[in-house]
Amino acid sequence: MLVMKFGGTSVGSAARIREVAGLVQRTAAEEPVVVVVSAVSGVTDSLIAAARQAAEGRRLQAIQHAIGIEQRHTEILHALDLPAEEQQSMATELRALSGDLENFIHSVGTLGELTQRTLDYISSMGERMSCRLLAATLRAAGQPAEAVDATKVIVTDGNFGHAFPLMDPTRAQAEAVLAPRLREGRVPVVTGFIGATESGIVTTLGRGGSDYSAAILGSALGAREVVIWTDVDGVMTANPRVVHGARTLPHMSYLEAAEMSYFGAKVLHPKTIAPAVEGGIPVRIKNTFAPDAPGTLITAEAPPADTPIRAITAISRLALLTLQGKGMVGLPGVAARLFSTIAQEQINVLMISQSSSEYNICVLIEEAYAAQAQAAIERQFALEQSQGLIEGQTVRSGVSIVAVIGAGMRGKPGVTGQIFTALADDGIEVLAIAQGSSELNLSFVVAGAQEDAAVRAIHHHFGLDR
């Protein structure tokens, strides 16, 4: 049994949806398939924008967004040219979902408030629409298929916006809802990105979370493999939009893939690997635009690369917060207090770096939370600051983390030297450095404007384009 997940661009038009249906149909002739599908590209962004506009009192604009979303799906539906009956019932379903969406937008507008719970409901609409269109296209092609809302399968906690799957009830639901359909030869086309709490409230797994949905279902059903179909040939040595010579990696380990996705390789949602590791399920990345290309296979062990580094990734729009002061040297627990202060604000720390002199500690967080973190730290260390033990903090926004990833760096100290020489040769200033304990990853901070140049310099220096 196989899970096939299709991203937003893979279902971005009627022509794409037909291609995808063809791929699914050919695979389903060989073995049972569960399909997971994202919203049509751009739709989730539109839904979130509409919800925010409604909350800010721009209800007219919000409703126009909602109408635009309905139109986009209706146009795809017409271009799909389905049999009359299928066309009719799809039009009715799309209208019902759109009506529901408009009602929610009006409610948000009236309340003037948008809770994360309501935002999750509104942003679930994209997947609920796209999965119906793909299921109908499959049926029209003669492949028995059925749209399934993941709210009936993936059971999560109530952490709206970043819900966590509860695997035991999810396994039971997958067995109850998906397994019978598979046995009858019907392809379930499941919404990515969303789930529901035990009491049935809609949740989302985080932006880009359809990959995660696929891995959760793969693990729940004991799939042979999870295949992530996207718009590039696989996981590449760098983001192909930044490095034109980036190459596709044929094989990598779970650890390397996890590290890459944590450090910004959008091709795979960072949480995808965990359920795959748990179930020992291989994950394959394939290109819907070039289905015959071999793609990338991700398994527990991968053959060593011929270069010490495998890939380079980057995360943009971060802030570098530095706490400094000579008095910190002898002061126990400063780092722990700094981290727990940031954690209490529910802000994620992406990187930590401390100079050996201990005069300063740096943390990297998302730029959007910089002011909030700064205020909390100010309060936490007010006493030490008044005593002159801590001089204060500086905040530098608009920085990026660049991460160099590869199991081959382990025990090769020379590699680090080469990386920094390559950067210096290209005039790139490094603002902070951290080495992950896994030794799979060396990450450093540069000004946002130098992010791409840093990635390119290292990619070129290690000959990854060869």
Identify the residue whose tokens are 């944590």.
262
Identify the residue whose tokens are 């991968």.
302
CB of 134 to ligand ADP, least distance (A): 14
DSSP 230: E
CB of 11 to Mg ion, least distance (A): 12
CA dihedral 170, 172, 177, 182 (to 10 degrees): 100
User: Binding partner of residue 232 among Mg ion, ligand ASP, ligand ADP, none, CB under 5 to 8 Å per kind?
Assistant: ligand ADP
| Distance from C-alpha of 364 to C-alpha of 374, rounded to nearest angstrom | 12
Does the footprint of Mg ion cover residue 208 (CB under 5 A)?
yes
For residue 437, give the 3-state DSSP assignment: coil
**Site size with ligand ADP, rule: CB under 6 A:** 19
CB of 114 to ligand ADP, least distance (A): 24
Residue closer to Mg ion by CB (options 36, 246) is: 36
User: Binding partner of residue 126 among ligand ASP, ligand ADP, Mg ion, none, CB under 5 to 8 Å per kind?
Assistant: ligand ASP
| Distance from C-alpha of 202 to C-alpha of 193, rounded to nearest angstrom | 11
**Cβ neighbours for 169, distance < 8 A, ≥ 6 positions apart:** 155, 198
Residue closer to ligand ASP by CB (options 59, 65) is: 65
Does the footprint of ligand ADP cover residue 266 (CB under 6 A)?
yes
Residue closer to ligand ASP by CB (options 12, 192) is: 192
Does the footprint of ligand ADP cover residue 26 (CB under 6 A)?
no
CB of 227 to ligand ADP, least distance (A): 12
Q: Which of residues 148-177 bind Mg ion (CB under 5 A)?
A: none
**Site size with Mg ion, rule: CB under 5 A:** 2
DSSP letters, 5-48, are: EE-TGGGSSHHHHHHHHHHHHHHHTTS-EEEEEPPSTTHHHHHH
User: What does DSSP say about strands 145-148 and 187-191: parallel, antiparallel, or unpaired?
Assistant: parallel
Does the footprint of Mg ion cover residue 264 (CB under 5 A)?
no
Binding mask 177-206 for ligand ASP (x = CB under 6 A): ---------------xx-------------
User: Binding partner of residue 46 among Mg ion, ligand ADP, ligand ASP, none, CB under 5 to 8 Å per kind?
Assistant: none
323 near 382, Cβ under 8 Å? no
| Distance from C-alpha of 336 to C-alpha of 89, rounded to nearest angstrom | 58
Does the footprint of ligand ADP cover residue 267 (CB under 6 A)?
yes
Residue closer to ligand ADP by CB (options 62, 238) is: 238
**Cβ neighbours for 81, distance < 8 A, ≥ 6 positions apart:** 14
234 near 194, Cβ under 8 Å? no
Shortest-Cβ-distance residue relative to ligand ADP: 7
3-state helix, strand, coil in the chain (%, to 5): 45, 20, 35
Does the footprint of Mg ion cover residue 218 (CB under 5 A)?
no
Does the footprint of ligand ASP cover residue 58 (CB under 6 A)?
no
Which residues make up the interface to ligand ADP (CB under 6 A)? 7-10, 38, 208, 230-232, 235-236, 238-241, 265-267, 311
Which residues make up the interface to ligand ASP (CB under 6 A)? 7-8, 38-39, 44, 126, 192-193, 207-210
Which residues make up the interface to Mg ion (CB under 5 A)? 7, 208
